[in-house]
Structures are given as structure tokens and as C-alpha cells.
A and B are shown apart, each in its own frame.
Chain A
């Protein structure tokens, strides 16, 4: 796990007088699952936006396989092999679930393969993976919020990414459903996809992440293996809260 796939060097993003991301350094190693946590408003999604071309950083560099990408357009970045999901889901509401995912497959594929039949097959496989295959013929607008998040996941997988950035895809799942989601993400990683995951469900972060980065007020306040990070005083104060820590102690 030594090859750096994605790297940020002193990435900053400001909106007017607000510094949303402040000189953040990070590396994502090939094949790992990196957790990104922090309070609401800490800058996690903005950092994802800076990686995927939806925001361009005011300072710093983002490199993918050593190539600078921070000024490239989102569609170019996606075709290079970086896929993401959106926290605020935006499916094509009047297309079927299958067609939504098919769009992802068509978009991410090389020119020679742009064929609907092939893309449908890819879409079906991804829907099967995320557990939405039974809803393939429903309109996306008919899905529940949690299902729409699964749809985001399937859509991004269909672009055949090398690295997948997941922004709260598991919100709205109950603890038993979370268990399935964890196995699913594990399965995606085992197929060779590197993963950067933003999540408030700490079970997901603790079970999956090889390493965790914590953002607070746009700054990186901690980085390391999950157990070390969750016992960090600053992280407890800013993010986890005393009750979580007490609960964890009780469970151990």
C-alpha cells in the first residue's frame, strides 16, 4: 500500500471571507479505504469538490497519479477514473433507476464501448451489487431517500472508477442495513477500487477505514488509524462528543 494514487498539497478554498478548507495535505494510497470525518460544516464536502473539479482551490495542488488535476473540469476528472457521489442526491427523476445507472456507464466508458445494450448490462450488475435490482424499472423519483443514496452509489460505480469518493451514502440506514452497506463497500474495495469515504455513521468509519483524517473548521486536526483518531482529545471535543466515547468504552 505504498503507491500514492491521489494527493492534496496545501489545498485551500475560500468563499468570500470564509475559509472552508485551509491548507490541507492528504494522500490516498492505492487500494486503501480512507475515512474523512468532521463536524457538519467542517469542509469535507468542499474538499471533495476541490478534488472533483466542482470547486477550484484558491491555493494548493491536487494530483491524481502524479498529474495535476485541480483546474480540470469535472467530466474530465471523472473520465480519468475519479468518481463521486453527492450528498444531496440528484438523479434524473423521470428516468428509470436502470437508465440512471446506464448513464453512468455510458459516460465513463471509452468511446468504442458506447453501446446501450452493454451499458444496460453494466448497470444491472451495479444495481445487483447495491441491492436495488428489484427497483430497476421504477422511476428514480419513486425511491426513498436511502434508496436514492444507493442509486448514487451504483451510478458512480458504473463509471468504472479507480478511486471512488463516497459522500454520506449510508445516511438513513438502520444499524442492520449499515452492516450490509459495510460488506458492500468492502466488496468494491476487494475488486481493486480505492475509496475515500465521508460518513457520520461511526460504525462504518471504524469497521472500514484503514486510516482516518479529521477536519474541523477547514483544518486537518488529526490523522491516523481509526482507534488512535477516536481517542484523540481534540476529535472527541469537536466531533464525537463524550456520550459516544462512554458508549464505546461500555461496548469494549
Chain B
């Protein structure tokens, strides 16, 4: 379970968000809130717009209409660098590391926009290495030569180097061995305990629900259901459509 959210503080508010690619509209009015310090899961079948939603939050993809408000400030149109600077990091699906750069160089790229002194940078690197000791052992290794699990750690570490208040993770468990997924979930909890809110898009619904306190179920570009993960786990529709039970 995540930290008890501060009762009335919404870190992020999304209202009537619409958009997509060129003339193909994917999202049709998404409504969603993230509270400070919580872990939230987004689940849904393939092609319902989960990844598109994350891309819009992080400013990679423009929205056609609706608003994204973060700590009271409207983020629409400020672009990916502005979003990162305000405290939202995106760990993309498939990790997207800079394969021919070292682990440490990848991590440093995460802090690129912050223009930090070397001293401050090394503090932040230490912080990431304290979460992921394996990355410290491999700091000089090329990111592309690591196994899938280590690459996922590196991608999360790169996201943390921007010192986010909200970390978006797209498909944490993709292509990873069961034992590794278990291990990564432990890391996610530790990161969350330090006050970072986490939005998890995940196909492994059981794992996602175990980590998160609340979840949103996306269908056809809209939020079809939302509630506590305990409630949703008991919902017969959720069980049938997303858990295969």
C-alpha cells in the first residue's frame, strides 16, 4: 500500500482530456486525479489510450482540449521540458534507454534540464544508487548490454534524477521474469515511501493492484471505472475482463 494521501490535496488534476495522433482521436474526455504521495494504477486492454494518456501528461503529445493541472498550475502547452521541470518524470514503455551510453550517463541525462553543480549531481546519483545498488556496480557498463531487469531499473533511475513529485511508469513488468517483477515492486514501494507519487500503467493487473491504493480502468479512450483497488478486485466485470478469472 502507498502512503496515506493528504486528504484534500490533488497533485494532478485532469479534466476532459481529448487528443490523439493526427486525425485519429484516441482520448475522449479523460477525468482523473492523483493525490500527493499515492500510488495509482491505470489498467485496460491494449489500444484504449493508456500510453497516449501518459504521453499527453508529459507533454510529448499535445492535447486537443481539456486541462492538465499540476500543483494548481495548468501544464497544457508547456512542452516536455517544462513538465519535467515542474516535477513529472516519464519512464516510457520499453524503457527507451540510450543504448550506447553508460548506465551513469543515462542517469545523468535524467537530470539534464536541472543544470546542477557536480556536487549536487553526485548526491542525486548516490540517491538513485541507494535504491538500485545493482546500477552502481554497473555504472560504467553500456545500458544496451544489460539484461531487461537492469534496464528497467536504469530507466526508473533516470526518471528519478529529475527529482519528480510524480513518476509515470509505463509497463513496469514488460518482458521481465516473475522474480524480478517482485523485486521491482519492492523498489517502487521504497521510492514511494520517500514521498514520490507514482502512476503505474500495467498489464499485470494483479501486481498493479497490489502496489496501488486506487486504480482507473480505461475503455475506448475514457475512464470506465475508478475506485480503490480492493473494491475493483471484487468487481465481477473487472475480474472477467482484466484478470481473466
Task: List A residues at the B interface (Cβ < 8 Å).
Answer: 37-41, 87, 142, 144-147, 168, 171-179, 200, 202-203, 238-244
Closest to A41 in B: B147
Interface centre among A168, A203, A240, A243 (most CB of B within 10 A): A243
Are A174 and B203 within 8 A (Cβ)?
A: yes
16 contacts between A and B (CB under 8 A): A39-B149, A39-B180, A40-B149, A40-B150, A41-B147, A146-B46, A171-B175, A172-B174, A173-B46, A173-B203, A174-B43, A174-B44, A174-B242, A239-B179, A241-B178, A244-B178
Q: Report the interface size for chain B: residues with CB under 8 A from the other chain.
A: 34
B243 partner residues in chain A, CB cutoff 8 A: 175-176
Contact B242 A168 (CB under 8 A): no
Chain B min CB distance to A206 (Å): 12
Contact in complex: B240, A176 (CB < 8 Å)? yes
What 7 A-B pairs are tightest by C-beta distance, nearest first?
Answer: A41-B147, A241-B179, A175-B244, A40-B147, A40-B148, A146-B46, A174-B203
Set A87, A144, A203: member contacting B46, Cβ < 8 A: A144
Residues of chain B within 8 A of A40, CB atoms compared = 147-150, 175-177, 180
B195 an interface residue at 8 Å Cβ cutoff?
no
CA distance A176 to B48 in the complex (A): 14
Q: Which of A168, A176, A202 has the most CB of B within 10 A?
A: A176
Contacts of B146 in A (CB 8 A): 41
CA distance A242 to B182 in the complex (A): 9
Q: Which of A142, A144, A146, A202 contacts B178 (CB 8 A)?
A: A202
* A240, B179: Cβ atoms closer than 8 Å: yes
Q: Cβ of B203: which chain A residues have Cβ within 8 Å of it?
A: 172-175, 177
With both chains docked as a complex, state the minimum distance between the C-beta of A22 and any C-beta of chain B, in angstroms: 16
> Given A172-B203, A200-B175, A244-B182, are A177 and B45 also a contact pair (CB < 8 Å)?
yes
Given A175-B205, A241-B182: A145 and B241 within 8 A (CB)?
no
